[in-house]
Structure 1
Amino acid sequence: MISNELEIEPWRTRLLRDGRAQVRDFLQASAAERIRECLEHEVPWEVSQRADLAMEGPPPAPREDGELLRAAYARARDGFEFVFDRYRMVEALRDGRDPGLLLHVVLDFLNSPQFIEFTHELTGDSRIRMVSAMAARYRPGHFLNMHNDSARDEDRAFAYVINLGRGWQADWGGQLQFFGEGGDIVETFVPHWNSLSLFRVPQMHQVTLVSPWARDDRYSIAGWFRR
């Protein structure tokens, strides 16, 4: 599933130096295309907002979607907030939902001995033992504002995003941005097709608002390499 042309050492060096890197052409082309097809046509999405609000369910109708977004923007003025569509891959596989869905195979691959060994080689962290995953779809108006990915109940070593939005342009938004100690943006990853964005946790970052004129949704598989 991973590209046979991928050279690990340059990205390992950058991760050790900067704590983040974006690897282009990460998956084999056929694998990227098939996963994208699954995300676009086969996944039963649910809308996701900040967990403590317990607002989840099928994506709303356009009028309701506008109301949902306006409420999320208002809450975002006061702190951490997000709104996007998701499919919780770990929970779905555990509960036996959606048999035959390709994402179950993807999750198994991400936790295979071969991929775990790959995470050790890429990150230099041999303590990584599992990979969590969810599918995400950011439609126009969706966002994930500033946070650092730390969690009390999980030992998250690195966060990752496998980007599967087609022909993504910088002015479409949906960019992964990193912040320095003074609050300045120190680096931005455009979610290029078939790229792997990877960064050490904790690290302050955000996914910027997807623009109304974006010509595709920002599809991805994301999660954490966990110890």
Structure 2
Amino acid sequence: MIGNDLNPARWRRALAQHGRAQIPEFLHPQEAFALYRCLAEQLSWHLAAGGGDRAWVSARGAYPEGDAYQQIAMRAHDRAQRGHQYLHDCYAPDDARNEDESGGLAIDAVPDSFNSAEFLSRIRMLTGDIALSRVGVQAIRLRPGQFLLPETSTAADDGRRYAYMLHLSPVWRAEWGGLLQSIDDQGDIGETFLPRWNALTVFRLPQRRQVTLVAPWAHRPQYGIGGYWLAG
């Protein structure tokens, strides 16, 4: 599944030096495009909102529309003034499998692929972390007005060692927002990553990071697959 051109040594140096890296052409092109088509055309999405000790996900088949969506979005925007908050669409393949919701979609095969011996071996070489043993997977869609505000995850949180996002929007422009950023201890932006097509952005934890608000004038949603690389 991983592209043949991945050079673990190159990106291992970047991760060791900066704690983050963006790896282009991560998947074979045909597999990346199949995943994009699945996310853009085939999924029944859930809306997720929360932050701190608050977490809410819409029920299966009950994505809020119209005024109901606007009320949830307004609450999320208001709470974003006070700290960590997120508002985005999601689809968890493992949850769908447990609820018999999956239908043989391309995304439903990703957890098994990302937790295969071959994939785990490649990310251990990439990071130099031989303790990595599992990968969490969630599909993400960011529509205009959606965002993920700064979050800090410690290395001890459920064994999380690295956060990742595989970007699956064929075209994305910086002025549309939805940029993935690292934030240092002084609150300054450390580095900004454009969600380039079929690129994998990786952050070593703990490290504050955010996805900026997707602008109202963005022509299309942003798509990706994200989660954590975990030990134990």
User: Which TM class, normalised by the smaller chain length?
Assistant: over 0.9
Q: 1:204: Cα distance to partner?
A: 0.6
- Kindly tell me: are residues 189 and 41 of structure 1, through their superposed partners in 2, closer, same or farther at Cα, counting changes over 3 Å? same
Shift of 1:153: 5.2
Classify the secondary structure of the residue corresponding to 2:162. strand
Q: Distance in 1 between matches of 2:190 and 2:55?
A: 31
Distance apart, 1:143 and its partner CA:
0.5
Q: 1:165 to 1:114 in 2, by over 3 A?
A: same
* Structure 2 counterpart SS, 1:120: helix
Classify the secondary structure of the residue corresponding to 2:90: strand
Alignment counterpart, residue 137 of structure 1, candidates 136, 141, 145? 141
Kindly provide the amino acid, as one letter, of the partner of residue 45 in structure 2: W
Counterpart of 2:230 in structure 1 is: 226
User: Number of residue pairs matched?
Assistant: 227
Aligned to 1:113: 117
Contact 1:49–1:81 (8 Å) recurs in 2: yes
Which residue matches 2:32?
32
Cα contact 1:166–1:216 (8 A) shared by 2: no
Q: 1:165 is matched by which residue type in structure 2? A: S
Matches within 5 A, 1:38-53: 38-50=38-50, 52-53=54-55
Q: For the Cα contact (< 8 Å) 1:162–1:197, is it kept in 2?
A: yes
The amino acid across from 1:3 in the alignment is G
* TM-score under structure 1 length normalisation: 0.94
Instruction: Please report how far the alpha carbon of residue 60 of structure 1 lies from its aligned counterpart in structure 2 after TM superposition.
Output: 2.1
Rate the CA distance shift 1:6–1:151 in 2: closer, same or farther, 3 A: closer
| Stretch moving more, 136-145 or 51-60 | 51-60
Flag as ranges the 4+ runs of structure 1 deviating above 6 A: none
The match for 1:81 is 85
Please, which moves more after superposition, 137-146 or 83-92? 83-92
| Unaligned runs of at least 5 residues, structure 2 | none
Give the TM-score normalised by the residue count of structure 2.
0.92
Does 2:209 correspond to 1:205? yes
Change (3 A) 1:55 1:121: closer
